[in-house]
Structure 1
């Protein structure tokens, strides 16, 4: 089981989402940015490191949502989402094909990686309660 964190990065009523490149597994699907936990690293440290490495952004993880366990033919992952605050930086893509600052009402319209789908739903349900 690979443990992976992902950021639901909020800014100005929008959320940052990234599109996987043609060279990545599950090409051109959309996901919340993040990456694999390294030994001895906290979930929050992992998320901050990965988002800075992949996108050039500084973030602050605030609220942990429900992890998603996903089994695919090549591997099983536990995807651990955090709602995050933007702390600084300008998006600089190093691995992904594209990014969007998506409005909440648009999120269901993207072609998501399978593990991200329940996270989108939990996040939108949470936001409807606010």
Structure 2
């Protein structure tokens, strides 16, 4: 087993109660699968700081980290991910795809219609239980 990466993922909900979903580009690892946008936590960075920085870099908009939603772990063949999903509020700008192939807003009851990266599945399942 390779190294374990500590990553953050943003759960950004709009005024229509839709959640932002990002399609990984063909050039990324785990290509053409959906994820919640985010990235690696840097040395000495708190998860809240990491998600605000990553969203600014990746989507060219600003979010405020609100609450920790779910911590999960996933083992891939060559590495592992410790994922911290954080509920965020969009504070300025509109998310635009720069690294991702596509961004869409989706109602939580429809999240399971996408092919999610395995590390994001636990977060999807937890979000979907909230709408029951």
What TM-score, normalized to structure 2? 0.92
Structure 1 residue 97, shift from structure 2 partner: 0.4
Runs of 4+ in 1 over 2 A off after TM superposition: none
Structure 1 residue 84, shift from structure 2 partner: 1.1
Counterpart-to-counterpart distance in 1, 2:33 and 2:119: 11
- The Cα offsets for residues 43-64 of structure 1, whole Å up to 9 and x where unpaired, read as 0000000001000111111121
In structure 2, the partner of 1:8 is 11
2:115 aligned with 1:116, yes or no?
Answer: no
Please tell me the root mean square deviation across aligned C-alpha atoms, in Å: 1.0
Consecutive unaligned residues in structure 2, runs of 5 or more: none
2:38 to 34, 41, 60: 34
Structure 1 residue 26, shift from structure 2 partner: 1.1
2:107 aligned with 1:103, yes or no?
Answer: yes
**Number of aligned positions between the proteins:** 128
2:59 to 55, 58, 61: 55
Please give the secondary structure, in 2, of the residue aligned with 1:67. strand
Contact 2:96 2:103 in 1 (8 A): no
